[in-house]
Each structure stands twice: as C-alpha cells, then as structure tokens.
A = this chain, B = another copy of it.
C-alpha cells in the first residue's frame, strides 16, 4: 500500500530519509534501533534493514551486532566559490585540497545555435570540445565539458594536455587573464554515463553550472558546463570578496 506511486521503493525512501537526518544533524553518531526506525517511518523492520544495508555499502553506516548501527565520519562538503575569478586549482588549494584534472576526451564539433550565441560565433563554426574529470584524493568530484572556438584557439587541446590547467593553456594561446561573465545553476539527476565517470550511485544528484568565460576585452573565451556531485559540493557566492 504505497502513499504515492512514484516508482521509488520504500526502502530507498527510508534510506534517503536517514541520509537526510544525518546530514541535518538530527542523527549524530548512533542510529536508533531498527524497530524504532521501522515505527518512525511506518515500515517493517526488514525494510529498514535493507535501507541500512544500502547506506552501509555506501560507506555512510556501520552496523555492529549486539551494539547498534553507527554513522561513519564523513568528509565535509567541498566549498566551491562562484564569482568572477574561477580557478579550480586555486580554489581547491585554499581548502588544503590537492586537485588533479584528468583529460577524458576531446573532439571537434559544430556549434549549434545556443553555443554560437554564447561564444559570439556563427552557427556551424568548428569547436573544440574538451571533457575533463576533476579528481581529489582519487575520488571523482566533477565533470566539465568546455567549448573553445577552433579558429581562435587551434592548439588549446594539446596545450591543456601539456599543462593540465585551463588557465595555463589559455595563457599559451595568448589569453593572459580571463573572468567569468555569467554562471547559471540548476540541478538534475546524474546521467548514466556521468554516474560511471563520477563513481556514484545511479540516482545521485548533480549541480549543473553553465558558464561563459571572457577575456579582458569581454570577448568570449570558453563556454563550460560542469556537473558537481551535490553531496560532495556546495557552491558559494560572495558579492564583496573578489
């Protein structure tokens, strides 16, 4: 007897509720006993057990027979500033995080109407599409798709492959500095392909940032779409701090 037939199993919703309770601090170190959780969520004890099993394989919980079920210490969410100056490496190192970008693909595509408008080029013009994966401590954190005009930046791919940094690759291509013009943020369920790349659950949530970088003459440099895993990131916007 389901309240809402939304195609999500009962144990999964219990698991999500427990995860939310942990995130919000309602549950701290130790979970209530299974029978109590079952009552609280209005399900059978076995359903709770399945939820706990899922969260255990996720690494969030640890059950000990006779003692109880405990919450494993979790790494804090990485705070990612969005502002004019977006430099992935700099931002991470301020939080004592040693990042590494990984090139996972590059190809040439033709600009569609939307991309052409963003980059201020003509429809059908050739673009470099650069796929990157940001990794921290061996854990994938985000995936980015960058678009560059082939005409303006013919060698951007090899420059990035050499330096491992967009900032440095752009400097090699004659762009001494750049800034972010606009960032648009939304959220979706992760796509199956991204779930594999980011090594996350198939139903994880990603924050999606669509942005355009411009050089000091306000000419578009790159259009970049980044998917951040929502449970590993928090985007921060501070007006006053540069």
Which residues of A are at the interface with B, using a C-beta cutoff of 8 A?
Answer: 4, 6-9, 11-13, 15-17, 20, 23, 54, 77, 79, 82-84, 179-189, 191-192, 201-203, 205-207, 230, 233-240
Contacts and interface: CB of A to CB of B under 8 A. Distances in A.
Contacts of A235: 184-186
21 contacts: A6-B203, A7-B8, A7-B54, A7-B203, A8-B8, A16-B189, A20-B189, A84-B239, A181-B240, A182-B236, A182-B238, A183-B238, A184-B235, A184-B236, A185-B234, A185-B236, A186-B207, A186-B235, A187-B187, A187-B205, A188-B205
A140 to B, nearest CB: 17
Which of A181, A206, A237, A238 is most buried by chain B, counting CB atoms within 10 A of its CB? Answer: A237
A12 B16 contact: no
B6 A201 contact: yes
How many copies of the polypeptide does the oligomer hold?
A: 2
Contact of A202 (B6, B11, B79, B191): B6
A12 to B, nearest CB: 3
A7 B11 CA distance: 7
A177 to B, nearest CB: 14
Cβ-closest 7 pairs across A and B: A7-B12, A187-B187, A7-B9, A187-B230, A185-B235, A84-B239, A183-B237
Contacts of A237: 82-83, 182-185, 237
Q: Name, among A184, A201, A233, the residue most crowded by chain B CB atoms within 10 Å (CB to CB).
A: A184
A85 to B, nearest CB: 9
Given A182-B237, A184-B234, A185-B207, 14 more contacts: A6-B201, A7-B54, A8-B8, A8-B12, A20-B189, A181-B238, A182-B238, A183-B237, A183-B238, A185-B236, A186-B207, A186-B230, A189-B205, A237-B237
Of A11, A84, A235, most B-chain CB atoms within 10 Å: A235
B79 A188 contact: no
A94 to B, nearest CB: 16
A138 to B, nearest CB: 21
